[in-house]
């Protein structure tokens, strides 16, 4: 008998299952698609035979729950850790600017990194330092209802600083623009990244595709602990009695030999399950999604010498270097949803040529364009309020996913944190009953 059924095999579902397994709770994980990974999956490219990700995903040193999960499933070695914060930006004139923190005493090293950041003149550097200093004393209540744009204007950040720094950080962290994003949530993110010590601000990148980096190790760990993973199997209905889920109807059977259930699927997927707990508690119109666009380019010769670059005032936000191929990433990619993929490919080639004169279009011999339409929710102030209402109406159902009320934006860390919390609640429930 499975003590706990976990619905969904993305980061939240795998995290829930792994932390349950750590507590010796037998798990049955049901995934509706033929692949695990959710919105952080990879697949084998038909022509190049490489495994590529649906989109580039990065972690930060402040992702404590995610790093705990990677340690648990023996996958930490599959990720590259910066030895210090090092972010390289380029502009249309191919000028390169580095935000490079030394390994010295924290937080003096971050202060020195800003003072040496050549993208800004001295007055702007002082404004940035003043902004970061102000974060220490900020009360989130003061920011309630404000957008990031309003916060930046109130804090006297110049248009240049906003364009060359805050817009890049906002779209990277929240996958939306500064005019939509919640200032309160962005404030929390900045504190996590920059005020939790040197390790917190380090960027962490998978050494390989996500399937090999974390999905396979998670699956192996769960199964070695006695868990079972079934895919594809789609839950269609919750059968309830006395405020409790007593059975699950899937596309091919009824499951009733369990104690509790963790739903670790996206909001829009959960609302499709009959008798779901959100139908009376949440206003669906308040949840909107933001797409992420990834363009993978295979190169005959790779002239890029860094692992990744941020691009200033460009429709392309990031370039990641994988050796045989590079990945161009656009967050908040609404404007490209209706654009033909061939047109995106050609436009991006021209754009990259402006930023990197050393890039030769003729070196590109294959490409793949991927748009994840509902990559993340948009963290507006309206949604942050609505998020507080998320509740399970059933005593033995626990909700997980990056969209639940974790206090974090729609990130891998939010998904893993939610999974860990849901697993802890399920363990307590099982032990009491």
pLDDT score recorded for residue 118: 84
- What does DSSP assign to residue 391? -
Mean pLDDT rounded to a whole number for the chain: 91
pLDDT score recorded for residue 139: 64
ω into residue 232 within 30 of 0, thus cis?
A: yes
* Length of the chain (residues): 433
pTM equals 0.93
How buried is 44 (Cβ within 10 angstroms: 0-12 exposed, 13-18 middle, 19+ buried)? exposed
Percent of the chain having pLDDT more than 90? Answer: 67
CATH superfamily of 4-66+207-282+380-432: FAD/NAD(P)-binding domain (3.50.50.60)
pLDDT score recorded for residue 211: 92
The rounded distance, in Å, linking the Cα atoms of 79 and 390 is 33
Give the β-pairing of 318-321 and 325-330.
Answer: antiparallel
What is the architecture, at CATH level 2, of domain 289-377? Alpha-Beta Complex (3.90)
pLDDT score recorded for residue 86: 86
Mean pLDDT to the nearest integer, 131-159: 85
Do 204 and 58 form a contact (C-beta atoms < 8 A)? yes
Question: What stretch of H or E contains 86?
Answer: strand 86-90
**pLDDT tens-digit profile of 269-292?**
998 999 988 755 666 777 889 999
Q: How far is CA 120 from CA 162, 173, 228, 312, in A?
A: 11, 22, 54, 13
Tracing tokens 């990277």 back to the chain, one arrives at 172
pLDDT score recorded for residue 15: 98
pLDDT score recorded for residue 282: 64
**pLDDT tens-digit profile of 254-275?**
999 999 999 999 988 998 999 9
**pLDDT tens-digit profile of 189-202?**
988 888 888 888 88
User: Which residues lie below 8 Å from residue 252, measured CB to CB, with a gap of 6+?
Assistant: 233
Phi, psi of 382 (to 5 degrees): -65, -45
pLDDT score recorded for residue 249: 96
Residue 376 is encoded by which pair of tokens?
């993340």
Q: How does residue 337 score in pLDDT terms, banded at 50, 70 and 90? A: very high
Sheet with 397-399: list strands edge to edge: 228-230, 27-30, 4-7, 260-263, 397-399
Tracing tokens 């998670």 back to the chain, one arrives at 218
pLDDT score recorded for residue 136: 74
The rounded distance, in Å, linking the Cα atoms of 105 and 98 is 19
**pLDDT tens-digit profile of 6-52?**
999 999 999 999 999 999 999 999 999 999 999 888 988 889 888 88
Domain residue limits, the chain: 4-66+207-282+380-432, 108-197, 289-377
Q: How does residue 414 score in pLDDT terms, banded at 50, 70 and 90? A: very high
The rounded distance, in Å, linking the Cα atoms of 67 and 73 is 10
Tracing tokens 């997927």 back to the chain, one arrives at 269
């Amino acid at each position: 008998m499975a003590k706990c059924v976990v619905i969904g095999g993305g980061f939240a579902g795998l995290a829930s299952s792994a932390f349950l397994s750590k507590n010796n709770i037998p798990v049955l994980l049901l995934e509706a698609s033929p692949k695990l990974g959710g919105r952080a999956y990879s697949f084998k490219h038909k022509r190049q035979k490489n495994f590529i990700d649906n989109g580039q995903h990065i972690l930060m040193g402040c992702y404590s729950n995610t790093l705990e999960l990677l340690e648990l499933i023996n996958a930490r070695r599959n990720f590259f850790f910066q030895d210090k914060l090092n972010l390289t930006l380029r502009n249309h004139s191919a000028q390169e600017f580095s935000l490079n923190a030394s390994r010295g005493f924290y937080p003096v090293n971050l202060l020195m990194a800003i003072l040496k950041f050549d993208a800004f003149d001295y007055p702007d550097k002082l404004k940035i330092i003043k902004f970061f200093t102000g974060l220490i004393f900020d009360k989130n209540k003061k920011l309630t209802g404000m957008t990031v744009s309003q916060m930046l204007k109130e804090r006297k950040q110049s248009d240049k600083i906003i364009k060359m720094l805050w817009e890049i950080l906002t779209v990277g962290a929240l996958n939306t623009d500064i005019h939509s994003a919640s200032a309160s949530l962005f404030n929390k993110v900045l504190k996590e990244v920059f005020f939790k010590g040197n390790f917190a601000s380090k960027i962490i990148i998978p050494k390989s595709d996500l399937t090999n980096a974390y999905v396979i190790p998670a699956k192996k760990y769960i199964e070695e602990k006695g868990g079972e993973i079934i895919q594809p199997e789609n839950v269609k209905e919750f059968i309830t009695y006395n405020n409790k889920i007593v059975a699950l109807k899937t596309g091919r059977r009824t499951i009733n030999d369990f104690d509790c259930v963790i739903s670790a699927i996206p909001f829009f997927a959960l609302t499709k399950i009959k008798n779901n707990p959100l139908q009376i508690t949440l206003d669906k119109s308040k949840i909107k999604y933001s797409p992420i666009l990834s363009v993978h380019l295979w190169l005959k010769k790779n002239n890029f010498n860094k692992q990744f670059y941020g691009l200033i005032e460009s429709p392309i936000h990031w370039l990641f270097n994988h050796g045989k191929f590079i990945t161009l990433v656009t967050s908040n990619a609404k404007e490209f949803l209706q654009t033909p993929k061939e047109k995106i490919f050609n436009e991006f080639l021209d754009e990259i040529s402006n930023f990197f004169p050393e890039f030769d279009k003729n070196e590109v011999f294959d490409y793949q364009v991927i748009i994840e339409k509902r990559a993340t929710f948009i963290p507006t102030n309206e949604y942050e309020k609505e998020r507080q209402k998320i509740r399970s109406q059933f005593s033995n159902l626990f909700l997980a996913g990056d969209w639940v009320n974790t206090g974090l934006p729609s990130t891998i860390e939010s998904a893993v944190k939610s999974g860990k919390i849901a697993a802890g609640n399920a363990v307590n429930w099982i032990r009491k009953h």
